[in-house]
């Protein structure tokens, strides 16, 4: 979708990196604008249920999304709008799912971040943290069983999910089966309101990689260049038959857990800590500094992204709400085995 570059660059690695960087940056911009719009719709009472944003996590998320190829698997975290978009999820899927449109992928049956496109390898998460990792394992295992090669799966989780038994079981399982899995942990310092100090006691979650038989990496999650390099390398290692990979990114959630949450519990020292800058601003500064874009070009990208989001919202708002009388209340695909009570 995004092919624009400002000027022809040097040949080889640098130009490829620049292209990837520009693509990732534009997905970050689109994700931020989409999230901002969803937040406005929530405040205007247009969205039922929660709204969960990825503000401050777009660099890591976009890096994951652009590292994947068709045939790969992505199990996103609730803050992965950027990665989803980069891996091919249309903007309107997000809007329709948040607004409960029957034309969305979840048809009003499930909402907000619980959406996916299984045919394209995007898994619709359940709410239970850590539970998607073993499902990614199963998809990778089955692809290999079916004779496919060269695929990768990314399971994206937060530091909170690392405390679950499901996460432990699935990481151990992936290593046993030698699966091309990359677990990306966004350590955004808080699991809802619980700080790192009440979540784990090891120095860094990346240390756990050794115990599982993974290769571990730490990265500055606010730095798009670092994220692209780290995630890109890990994905390529997994794709080419290396051990499963664990990436731990340090960043700060620049919003509440959901839009209902004012995040007053976030330590003010973290907010002012230069290590936890806004990744979008950091990326924009780098773009300008490297001369890969100018203000005018970036403004154009923003305007284009805003138009895409506004169009998706306008389309969705014209769509009828789900009709309970037309709903097929069958939880089984085998219709004659449904109990059939109204």
Partner 1 sequence: MSITYLEAIREAQARALADDPRVFIYGQDVGVFGGAFKATKNLANQFPGRVLDAPISEDAIIGMSVGAALEGLRPIIEMQFADFSTVGFNQIVNQAATMFWRTTRICPITVRLPFGGTSGSGPFHSQTMETIYAHYPGLVVMTPASVEDAYSMLLEAVAIDDPVIFCEHKLLYYHLKAEKLPTEALPVGKARITREGRDMTVVAYSAMVHEAIAAADELALEGYQIEVVDLRSVKPLDTDTVMASVARTGRLLCVGESWPWGGVTAEVVARVTQEGFGLLDAPPQRLNAKDTPVPYHPNLWAAHRPTARRIAAAARNLLRQ
Q: ∠ at Cα 187 (262, 95), nearest 5°?
A: 55
- Kindly state whether residue 103 participates in binding partner 1, applying the rule CB under 8 A: no
Contact range with partner 1 by CB under 8 A, out of 32-40, 110-118, 213-221, 254-262: 110-118
Neighbours of 120 (CB within 10 A): 14
- Kindly state whether residue 124 participates in binding partner 1, applying the rule CB under 8 A: yes
Q: At closest approach, how far in Å is the CB of 123 from partner 1?
A: 8
Cβ distance to partner 1 smaller for residue 13 or 339: 339
- Kindly state whether residue 182 participates in binding partner 1, applying the rule CB under 8 A: no
Between CA 124 and CA 74 the distance in angstroms is 10
Residues 11-50 contacting partner 1, CB under 8 A? none
Helix, strand, coil percent content, the chain, rounded in steps of 5: 50, 10, 40
Cβ distance to partner 1 smaller for residue 141 or 214: 141
Between 133 and 172, how does the x/- string for binding to partner 1 read (CB under 8 A)?
xxxxxxxxxxx-xx------------------xx--xx-x
Helix axis angle for 58-67 and 279-290, nearest 10°, is 70
Between CA 254 and CA 57 the distance in angstroms is 8
Nearest to 225 by CA among 287, 159, 274: 287
- The SS3 call for residue 256 is coil
Cβ distance to partner 1 smaller for residue 134 or 156: 134
- Kindly state whether residue 326 participates in binding partner 1, applying the rule CB under 8 A: no
Q: At closest approach, how far in Å is the CB of 257 from partner 1?
A: 20
- The SS3 call for residue 269 is helix
- 134 phi and psi, to 5 degrees? -70, -25
125 and 136 Cβ atoms separated by less than 8 Å: no
Q: At closest approach, how far in Å is the CB of 179 from partner 1?
A: 9
Length of the chain: 342
Name which position in 89, 110, 159, 284 contacts partner 1 (CB under 8 A).
Answer: 110
- Kindly state whether residue 330 participates in binding partner 1, applying the rule CB under 8 A: yes
- Kindly state whether residue 116 participates in binding partner 1, applying the rule CB under 8 A: yes
Cβ distance to partner 1 smaller for residue 148 or 290: 148
Query: Which run of H or of E encompasses 247?
Result: strand 245-250
Between CA 224 and CA 236 the distance in angstroms is 18
- Kindly state whether residue 339 participates in binding partner 1, applying the rule CB under 8 A: yes
Query: Which run of H or of E encompasses 215?
Result: strand 215-220
Q: At closest approach, how far in Å is the CB of 148 from partner 1?
A: 9
Q: At closest approach, how far in Å is the CB of 116 from partner 1?
A: 7
- Kindly state whether residue 333 participates in binding partner 1, applying the rule CB under 8 A: yes
CA 143 to chain centre: 22
- Kindly state whether residue 332 participates in binding partner 1, applying the rule CB under 8 A: yes
- 254 phi and psi, to 5 degrees? -95, 40
Name which position in 106, 185, 235, 238 contacts partner 1 (CB under 8 A).
Answer: 106
Cβ distance to partner 1 smaller for residue 166 or 288: 166
- Kindly state whether residue 89 participates in binding partner 1, applying the rule CB under 8 A: no
- The SS3 call for residue 191 is strand
- Kindly state whether residue 336 participates in binding partner 1, applying the rule CB under 8 A: yes
Where along the sequence are the contacts to partner 1 (CB under 8 A)?
105-106, 109-110, 114, 116, 118, 124, 126-128, 131-143, 145-146, 165-166, 169-170, 172-173, 176, 330-334, 336-339
């Amino acid at each position: 979708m995004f092919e624009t570059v400002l000027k022809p660059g040097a040949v080889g690695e640098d130009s490829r990196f620049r292209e990837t960087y520009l693509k990732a940056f534009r997905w970050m911009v689109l994700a931020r604008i989409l999230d901002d719009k969803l937040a406005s719709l929530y405040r205007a009472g247009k969205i039922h249920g929660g709204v969960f944003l990825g503000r401050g996590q777009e660099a890591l998320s976009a890096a994951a999304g652009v590292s994947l190829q068709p045939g790969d698997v992505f199990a996103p975290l609730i803050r992965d709008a950027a990665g989803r978009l980069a891996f091919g999820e249309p903007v309107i899927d997000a809007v329709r799912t948040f607004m409960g449109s029957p034309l969305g992928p979840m048809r009003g049956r499930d909402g907000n971040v619980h959406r996916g496109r299984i045919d394209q390898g995007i898994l619709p998460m359940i709410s239970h943290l850590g539970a998607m990792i073993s499902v990614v394992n199963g998809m990778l295992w089955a692809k290999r069983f079916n004779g496919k090669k060269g695929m990768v799966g990314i399971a994206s989780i937060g530091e909170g999910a690392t405390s679950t038994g499901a996460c432990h079981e699935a990481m151990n399982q992936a290593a046993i089966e030698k699966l091309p899995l990359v677990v990306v942990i966004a350590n955004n310092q808080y699991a809802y309101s619980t700080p790192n100090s009440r979540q784990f006691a090891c120095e860094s979650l990346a240390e756990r990689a050794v115990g599982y038989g993974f290769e571990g990496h730490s990265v500055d999650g606010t730095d798009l260049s670092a994220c692209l390099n780290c995630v890109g390398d890990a994905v390529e290692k997994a794709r080419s038959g290396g051990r499963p990979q664990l990436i731990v990114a340090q960043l700060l959630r620049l919003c509440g857990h959901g839009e209902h949450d004012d995040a007053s519990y976030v330590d003010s020292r973290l907010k002012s800590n230069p290590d936890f800058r806004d990744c979008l601003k950091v990326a924009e500064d780098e773009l300008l500094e490297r001369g890969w874009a100018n203000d005018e070009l970036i403004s154009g990208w923003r305007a284009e992204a805003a138009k895409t989001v506004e169009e998706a919202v306008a389309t969705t708002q014209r769509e009828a709400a789900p009709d309970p009388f037309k709903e097929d209340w069958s939880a089984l695909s085998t219709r004659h085995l449904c109990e059939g009570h109204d």
